[in-house]
A and B are shown apart, each in its own frame.
Chain A
Amino acid sequence: EIVMTQSPATLSVSPGERATLSCRASQSINSNLAWYQQKPGQAPRLIINDTSTRVTGIPARFSGSGSGTEFTLTISSLQSEDFAVYYCQQYSNWPTFGGGTKVEIK
């Protein structure tokens, strides 16, 4: 099983600031990485697939990068609606999720 590790567990950011979330795989997953956003009481929502491809309708302030074992989700200027929990998921092998990063208001 490929283990996905996200850091930090919680990120405190002021609106308008930049947020950088990390996701590490226990072995190479090439570019087979997706990011999901989950708000309280809601289902997860896919925001990025294939490491850096934004889903239709996702604002350009969200960007993904990385390859192999190290990946990053960057939110360039946090808006109020971006405060949520973010999960990474690899699909190079049997699907596994990271533990999540909660982005909270500072």
Chain B
Amino acid sequence: QVQLVQSGAEVKKPGASVKVSCKASGYTFTKYGISWVRQAPGQGLEWMGWISGHDRYTKYAQKFQGRVSVTSDISTTTVYMDLRSLRSDDTAVYYCARGSGMYFYHYMDVWGKGTTVTVSS
């Protein structure tokens, strides 16, 4: 079955970076993109960025431009989200989600369970 397995919870200090992984299985990796979506405590969903499955082309929400990088390793079907210069308001659950196809304009049909990132001094 299609699965996205994310790495474990992280606790970081302000100014640090965090790298969250998302291991995909059960489908042809190159035929679908992967998005990252975050959810602050008690808040809604916020799209952060996307990577193409076949050519690793990326797009990022303007809010996170320059601070986020999404990369992938096709050999291990793993996608990574790197967020830098962390602030307390980056405390959130970070989800990876499979896009509905290989193109950027997509809905998200399979989600990982989420990775809690806590930013605290």
Q: Which of B84-121 contact A (CB under 8 A)?
A: 95, 97, 100, 105-114
**CB of B35 within 8 A of chain A?**
yes
A49 and B109 within 8 A (CB): yes
Q: Which of A19-27, A57-65, A68-76, A96-104 contacts the other chain?
A: A96-104
Determine the distance from Cα of A42 to Cα of B10 in the docked complex, in whole angstroms.
18
A-contacting residues of B (Cβ < 8 Å)? 35, 37, 44-47, 50, 59, 61-62, 95, 97, 100, 105-114
Determine the distance from Cα of A95 to Cα of B95 in the docked complex, in whole angstroms.
15
Q: Which of A17-39 contact B (CB under 8 A)?
A: 32, 34, 36
B-contacting residues of A (Cβ < 8 Å)? 1, 32, 34, 36, 42-46, 49, 55, 87, 89, 91-100
Q: Considering only CB atoms, which chain B residue lies closest to A33 in the complex?
A: B107
B114 and A43 within 8 A (CB): yes
**How many inter-chain contacts with C-beta < 8 Å in the A-B complex?**
59
Determine the distance from Cα of A60 to Cα of B47 in the docked complex, in whole angstroms.
29
In the complex, chain A residues whose CB is within 8 Å of the CB of B108:
34, 36, 44, 46, 89, 95
A32 and B105 within 8 A (CB): yes
Instruction: Return 18 A-B CB contacts under 8 Å, by A number.
Output: A1-B62, A36-B45, A43-B113, A44-B45, A44-B95, A44-B108, A46-B108, A46-B110, A46-B111, A91-B106, A92-B105, A94-B47, A95-B105, A95-B108, A97-B45, A97-B47, A100-B44, A100-B45
Q: Considering only CB atoms, which chain A residue lies closest to B98 in the complex?
A: A46
